[in-house]
Amino acid sequence: MASLRDLPIDEFIDALSVPCCYINLDGNVLLWNEYAETLFGWGRDEVLHHPLPVVQHLQDALESWSPMLLQYPFSTTAMTPFKHKNGSVVYATAYLQSFSINDYTGYFLAFLPKGFGPLISTEQFNLLHHFQAMIEQSTYYLATNAYGEITEINPLLCGLIGAPDHQFIGRNWFELIHPSFENHPLAEDVLQALTTDRIWNGEMPVRSELHVRNMCWLNLTVVPILSDEGEIVQYTAFGFDVSDKKRLEQEVNYLAYHNDLTGLLNKKGWLRQYSHVLTDVDQGDGLVHVALFDIDRFKIINESFGSRVGNELLLQIKDRAAQFLPETSVMFHPSGGLFGLIFFEQSKEEVFQLLRQLQHELQRPFRIYHHSIMVSISIGCVFYPSATSSLEELYTRAESALFKGKRIGVGTIQFVTKDMDDAFSRQIHIEKALYQALEEKHFYLEYQPKYELKTDTLIGFEALLRWHHDELGQIPPSEFIPLAEEMALIVPINNWVILEAAKQLKVWQQLVDRPLSMAVNISPNQFRSDSFINTLRNIKQQLNLNPSDIILEITESLVMQQTDEIIARMDQIKRLDYRLSIDDFGTGFSSLQYLKSFPVDELKIDKVFLDDWLTSKSHLLDVIVHLGKSLNLHVVAEGVEDQEMLDHLKQTACDSFQGFLYAKPLPPIEVVRLLTDNSQ
């Protein structure tokens, strides 16, 4: 009887008890054995000369296989989902190799499904090994007996390790693992797989004389081989060198956690490596200080002397600081001219003295490429235990202390005070509560009445957002709106505001027989969002409300950007018949010359100009009113709190006003009372 290895290639594939197939370089099936038919459901006649049906996104797969197999003629996949004819998913490990034999050129694929046992007999494996021999020049191979003692090893693997084959025969193959991994869980994983008769595939470090500077890694597949009686008679291992890939992964990983210039841990690396610090302190009686020191005006140094000098300065600062700091401290480098320190055990007084001496040391001149450069250093510091729950919060508090010190002046050392700590804790509390506030309806609106100047008639309102928190009490908009913008919550909050205000206006319009309008402040983020336009369309369609009764107030800073996007969005809003108002007008004079081209309906004069008139009787207020009227815009004065101010406005062409002189912001029930009283 002829040996299996002498069979033609089509009979050879049929003789294997492994689901396998042969495809050409275009992905069309050339050979398909009965085990593949059993596994995937497609008969041979259904797949021959057609694209391989089991691989999802076949063209993408072919494009990825081609360059991979140019470098490594044999490859394996992790457990991968393949398609069954009935639409279900078959999970299998795929063994893939490319070669050319007789008239065939393409890829050989063998599939080992999940739960696949060692069905390959000794004779069949020898056949696979004959298959493997065709690419032996680029594949590392060894075989062992049932006890893991090496019985065969190919010259390529001997050359990689750096010893002749006779030195390996009879030795346990685990001796080839790199010494640093002898007690690593990786070896245990391999043993566990093999003792349960499972195929193991993974990356393993091995001893190698060819890899002196970097560790040698093989992508290895280890297969148990059974006798006809079902007993393991040998193991075979084959694979290819992935050391370059592993080295690149390690380099990428290093850069992810280290500053590429100084080699120090960056913020991400520092947070990962020292994540245990706070727990260690909690379990003992220790103390930890985190300090950030920043080179003041480092950007100017970089721009004046160039990045080459700037980079050298950073390196010299790192070296000088390292010589001065205690050995127990750790320095890290978040970015640019910002460095970080963590001190263990030292008291607050000791840390302050260390930081002051460090500051003095770093402010001595640096000699860099014939330049003598002096810098000032600002420092922010926080200690733990304190009112914080994570290392990242500790970092953020040190950052806040640093920036607070810089606002006082450069070259400061600012520790987090109790007031700062309390403020930071409040900010964290507010941030967490913001996520629930909208969903649980903690927000509400108050309405500032707006009056016509000539007749003192109530003509509308401005909707003002308010928030009452059960624990924190009343939180002012100036505190929570900037946080909402940072947390990307301002758009859904603003959309709720305009919808709620429009519904309220619809109710109030039915109480009076005169026009009423509603002004709503629109944040720049909301103005740009698509959901905003959808909200405006929904209000127009569902509430049966005249859109011109809604005044959308946008900031002058947004208008001053004068981008095509901003003007196009204004045109969109005007096509829906809403009115546009420029809020806090007058603070950005560069926009005055462009006012005529913007599709706005109203100017709202900032209160600062009213106050200026009260103190200096400046004509600037009158000029702004005249400007607005010359452009045929409705002019509103906000913040009217004084009768003298009101009397002066009535002498101008200003159209309307709002302010505490006539009414503070009111809850809806008070507005109803106001409307009812006015109508009577």
Residue 126 lies inside a defined structural domain of this protein: no
Domain that holds residue 14: 4-116
The whole model's pTM is what? 0.52
Residue 341 lies inside a defined structural domain of this protein: yes
Q: What is the DSSP letter of 284?
A: S
Question: In this predicted model, what pLDDT tens digit does every residue of 503-514 receive, in sequence order?
Answer: 999 999 999 988
Asked whether the beta carbons of 519 and 498 are under 8 A apart, the reply is no
Pairwise CA distance, residues 624 & 630, whole Å? 10
Residues 109 and 82 in one domain: yes
**Sequence-distant (≥ 6) Cβ neighbours of residue 619 within 8 angstroms:** none
The answer to whether the peptide bond before residue 385 is cis (omega within 30 degrees of 0) is yes
Tokens of 560: 């001053």
Residues 459 and 361 in one domain: no
Pairwise CA distance, residues 280 & 273, whole Å? 13
Q: What per-residue confidence (pLDDT) applies to 460? A: 95
- Per DSSP, the three-state class of 59 is helix
What's the CATH code of the domain at 89?
3.30.450.20
Residues 548 and 491 in one domain: yes
The β-bridge partners of 21 are 32, 109
Pairwise CA distance, residues 216 & 241, whole Å? 7
Q: What per-residue confidence (pLDDT) applies to 154? A: 84
Lowest mean pLDDT among 527-536, 551-560, 658-667: 551-560
Residue 602 lies inside a defined structural domain of this protein: yes
Residues 516 and 612 in one domain: yes
Lowest mean pLDDT among 19-33, 43-57, 202-216: 202-216
Pairwise CA distance, residues 525 & 502, whole Å? 20
Question: In this predicted model, what pLDDT tens digit does every residue of 168-196 receive, in sequence order?
Answer: 888 888 888 888 776 677 777 777 777 76
Q: Residue 74 pLDDT > 70, yes or no?
A: no
Residues 509 and 646 in one domain: yes
Confidence at 376, pLDDT banded by 50, 70, 90:
very high
Residues 463 and 597 in one domain: yes
Q: Residue 602 pLDDT > 90, yes or no?
A: yes
Pairwise CA distance, residues 193 & 222, whole Å? 9
Asked whether the beta carbons of 622 and 594 are under 8 A apart, the reply is no
Asked whether the beta carbons of 495 and 526 are under 8 A apart, the reply is yes
> Which residue type does 615 have?
T
Q: What per-residue confidence (pLDDT) applies to 393? A: 87
Question: In this predicted model, what pLDDT tens digit does every residue of 138-178 receive, in sequence order?
Answer: 578 888 888 889 988 888 888 888 888 788 888 888 888 88
Residues 443 and 557 in one domain: yes
Q: What per-residue confidence (pLDDT) applies to 119? A: 45
In the chain, the number of structural domains is 4
Residues 264 and 223 in one domain: no
Residues 480 and 514 in one domain: yes
Q: Which of 217, 247, 277 is the last residue of a domain?
A: 247
**Sequence-distant (≥ 6) Cβ neighbours of residue 6 within 8 angstroms:** none
Residues 562 and 673 in one domain: yes
Pairwise CA distance, residues 424 & 382, whole Å? 12
Residues 658 and 526 in one domain: yes
Question: In this predicted model, what pLDDT tens digit does every residue of 322-372 receive, in sequence order?
Answer: 998 988 899 999 999 999 999 987 788 888 889 999 999 999 999 999 889
Give DSSP secondary structure letters for 349-369.
Answer: HHHHHHHHHHHHHHTS-EEET
Q: Which of 392, 416, 440 is the last residue of a domain?
A: 416
- Residue owning tokens 């989902």: 81
